[in-house]
Structure formats: structure tokens, C-alpha cells
Amino acid sequence: MTKGILSTTIGGQVSRSEVYMKLLDHVREAQDCAALMAHLHNTEGNDVDKVLAKGWLGMSELFKLLAHQVTLLAQNKLQ
């Protein structure tokens, strides 16, 4: 087993499905973090933080779209 992109590999080879799942996990984690940042800025109560909250919420939505696109790209290769 080798170390690198993933913590373990099968027979020294990285599989597409493993890399896809790792990428999708990271994108979803980024989406959650951006949504949390939006929430935290919304709790501040000033105008600057309200604008920043909208920006973070927008980033969360972009990560959601990215996760969907990654899934679409991987669908044909993983079947």
C-alpha cells in the first residue's frame, strides 16, 4: 500500500471511485463550512457582516453545484 492522495490504496493503485469519494467528501465539507461561516456572520448583527454572510451563503451554493457536477462527471466512469 502507498501513501499519497489517499491514506491507503488497493494493490498500490488508486481507484477512480476512491478519488471521487474523497473529492466529493472535501467539496461537501467545504459547502458545510461556507454555510456555517454565513450563519456566524449573520449572528453579528451589523451591515458588513450581513453582506459577508450573503457571500458565504453564495459560496456554499457554488460548492453544492460543484458537488453535483463532480457526480455527473463521475457517473459514466463508475458504472
Per-residue pLDDT of the chain (79 residues; tens, 9 = 90+): 344 555 565 667 888 888 899 999 999 999 999 999 999 999 998 999 999 999 999 999 999 999 999 999 888 766 5
Domain boundaries, the chain: 16-78
Contact 22, 5 (CB under 8 A): yes
pLDDT of residue 4: 56
3-state secondary structure of 24: helix
18: left (phi over 0), alpha (psi -120 to 50) or beta: alpha
pTM (2 decimals)? 0.78
